[in-house]
Amino acid sequence: MNYRIVEDSSANINHINSQVAFASVPLKIITADREFVDHAELNVAEMISYLQEYKGKSSTACPSVADWLAVFGEAEAVFCFTITSKLSGSYNAARLAKEDYEAAHPNRTVFLVDSLSTGGEMQLLIERTAQLLTQSKQPTEVYREVCAYQKKTRLLFALQSLNNLANNGRVNPLLAKISGALGMRVIVRASEQGELVTLSKCRGEKKALEKLVTHMSEMGYQGGAVRLDHCCNRSAAEQLRALIRAQYPNAEITIGETGGLCSFYAEKGGLILGFETE
């Protein structure tokens, strides 16, 4: 059978280490005078420095139904992953695309997963799917196992600024204001329903990194895989990796960079991590 994994660009990856076909559909970052398409060629650093100077309104846009249909291609089984449906219309567009695709091709199926999350947690779900597909499992079985795995994965963020989240109605402006104070960091997690939950506010990066490890443990982390992405803050990502390894020496941790969408919302300095629990 002909398989394919597709995602929206919020997972911060452009390829997967697997034989399984993979495609990403970009979200967009929009200002009054520019539009940034979140694909592999996007110069994220340039976008961030432009946004830092830019004083007008900015927003984001999710893929359309047609965008999703285009990446489904000719696959008989499509595994489709979206950013949480609580914060974006991406899932809804993918759901409509699935209906169209299956109606047009009765022998094909789209297995749609609302990640209830984004970033590194989505990466973990995608990696697991690719791994199960290469073990020649049936698509329905793969879907069942991935949905079970999703119950054991989590997402945490440490943000220096919540301005873009607040300006686009995704968090309370009051929270953005408090966290906007110099040196403040806000730690947020994705809830089981795919919403943002504030866990703590603290002063300084070192504190925030220590807090992140504490929150990971409280959320059930026991040394499993971690997918950590940073927005122009590699040194913090490396420090966090060292802190995690100090407690969990065998932790398998990858460090990557946020793509366009996550960079826009996590903002400069932000960290996003998906991880497994037991």
For ligand X90, the binding residues (CB under 6 A) are 27, 60-62, 83-84, 87-90, 117-118, 157, 165, 170, 188, 190, 194, 196, 262, 265-266
Q: With contact defined as beta carbons under 8 Å apart, do 273 and 213 qualify?
A: no
Specify the 3-state DSSP secondary structure of 68.
helix
By beta-carbon proximity to ligand X90, the closer residue of 54 and 108 is: 54
Q: How many CB atoms lie within 10 A of CB 67?
A: 18
Q: Which two tokens stand for residue 45?
A: 């650093």
By beta-carbon proximity to ligand X90, the closer residue of 177 and 242 is: 177
Beta-strand pair 28-31/153-159: unpaired
Q: Which residues is 185 bridged to in the sheet?
A: 202
Shortest CB 36 distance to ligand X90, Å: 12
By beta-carbon proximity to ligand X90, the closer residue of 76 and 195 is: 195
Shortest CB 54 distance to ligand X90, Å: 17
Shortest CB 75 distance to ligand X90, Å: 24
CA distance linking residue 38 with residue 34, whole number of Å: 13
By beta-carbon proximity to ligand X90, the closer residue of 133 and 165 is: 165
Shortest CB 127 distance to ligand X90, Å: 19
Shortest CB 60 distance to ligand X90, Å: 3
Listing from the earlier edge strand, what are the strands of the sheet with 58-61? 35-37, 28-31, 58-61
By beta-carbon proximity to ligand X90, the closer residue of 109 and 123 is: 123
Q: How many CB atoms lie within 10 A of CB 211?
A: 18
- Longest CA–CA span in the chain (Å) reads 56
By beta-carbon proximity to ligand X90, the closer residue of 118 and 163 is: 118
Shortest CB 221 distance to ligand X90, Å: 17
By beta-carbon proximity to ligand X90, the closer residue of 137 and 170 is: 170
Q: Half-sphere exposure (CA, 13 Å, Cβ side) for 44?
A: 22
Shortest CB 162 distance to ligand X90, Å: 8
Which ranges of the chain would DSSP assign to H, the alpha helix?
44-53, 65-72, 90-104, 119-134, 139-150, 163-167, 173-179, 205-218, 234-247, 260-266
